[in-house]
């Protein structure tokens, strides 16, 4: 993987949590949103679990494209 990906959890409204995957350039600057939750969930833990699944999916996708 050439660009770092960071998983963050935000609480835009009380009791409403969303995850985002941010991708940075090779220097770790200029983060852009790679993927984000479609809908908020009611707990940090649910958002974290969902975000981790998305992150693993993104890592697998990058690994497959780098293998070919």
Dump pLDDT digits (tens) for 15-68. 999 999 999 877 767 889 999 999 999 999 999 999 999 999 998 887 776 665
Q: How many domains does the chain have?
A: 1
Buried b (16+ CB within 10 A) or exposed e, 15-36: eebbbbbbbeeeeeeebeebbe
**Partners of 23 in the beta sheet?**
5, 32
Question: What is the pTM for the complete model shown?
Answer: 0.81
Sheet of 32-36, strand order: 5-13, 16-23, 32-36
Q: Using CA atoms, how far apart are residues 21 and 47, in angstroms rounded to an integer?
A: 12
Q: Which domain holds residue 23?
A: 5-67
Beta-bridge partner residues of 9: 19
pLDDT at 25: 78
């Amino acid at each position: 993987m050439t660009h770092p990906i960071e998983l963050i959890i935000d609480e835009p409204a009380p009791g409403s949590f969303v995850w985002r995957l941010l991708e940075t350039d090779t220097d770790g600057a200029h983060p852009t949103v790679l993927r984000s939750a479609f809908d908020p969930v009611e707990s940090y833990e649910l958002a974290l679990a969902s975000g981790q699944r998305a992150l693993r999916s993104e890592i697998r996708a990058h690994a497959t494209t780098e293998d070919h």
